[in-house]
Amino acid sequence: MTDYQKPLPIPSLESRPFWDACRRGELVIQRCDQCSAFVFPPRPLCDVCLGTSLSWTRSTGRGRVFSYVVYHRVYHQAFAPEIPYVVAIVELDEGVRLLSNIVGCPPEQVRCELPVEVVFERVTDDTTLFKFQPRPRSHIEGASPKERSPA
């Protein structure tokens, strides 16, 4: 794990709780205490009502591919063994969008609207990254977000 060569996130004051949660295997996002909007990326102000009181809430970790690209070219040598790989914008069920990778399936199976769920990859002692993989079909059919019981 110590020979991890790819760039690592550098947590800021605002994003530290997010990365700490990833290390615990939880995906958390901020929610405005005033207007209930979900807020991402982490920030000190609600971008809907400018409220300054935001609370961390645990996400379902489920969403859909909003957009994606397949990288066939090496832009950083540490990624060379993974070519081709998918960089995607995932829209969570809560409505916020995160930039991540789609793993667990060949790139040609990725498409917009593909239902995905978060997975965590511990890459160093201090850093756990969040990625997304396709959801098993049994978890999708007949289960709209409103029908799911709260976790």
User: What DSSP element (H or E) covers 20?
Assistant: helix 16-23
Looking at residues 62 to 81 of the shown chain, list those that interact with Zn ion (rule: CB under 5 A). Answer: none
Among 45, 51, 120, 122, binds Zn ion (CB under 5 A): 51
Query: Which tokens is 57 given?
Result: 């809430």
Stretch that binds Zn ion, among 20-28, 49-57, 106-114, 131-139 (CB under 5 A): 49-57
- DSSP code, position 35: T
Give min distance, CB of 91 to Zn ion, in A: 19
Binders of Zn ion in range 27-46 (CB under 5 A): 32, 34-35, 37, 46
Total residues at interface with Zn ion (CB under 5 A): 8
Among 8, 49, 74, 105, binds Zn ion (CB under 5 A): 49
Tell me, what DSSP letter sits at residue 123?
-
Least distance from Zn ion to the Cβ atom of residue 49, Å: 3
Among the candidate windows 50-58, 79-87, 119-127, 131-139, which touches Zn ion by CB under 5 A? 50-58
Q: Does 60 help bind Zn ion (rule: CB under 5 A)? A: no
92 within 8 A of 59, measured Cβ to Cβ:
yes
Long-range contacts of 112-116 (CB under 8 A, 24+ apart): 112/64, 112/65, 112/66, 112/67, 112/68, 113/64, 113/65, 114/64, 114/65, 115/62, 115/63, 115/64, 115/139, 115/140, 116/62, 116/63, 116/64, 116/65, 116/90
User: Which CB atom, from 48 or from 140, has the smaller least distance to Zn ion?
Assistant: 48
Q: Binding residues for Zn ion, per CB under 5 A?
A: 32, 34-35, 37, 46, 48-49, 51
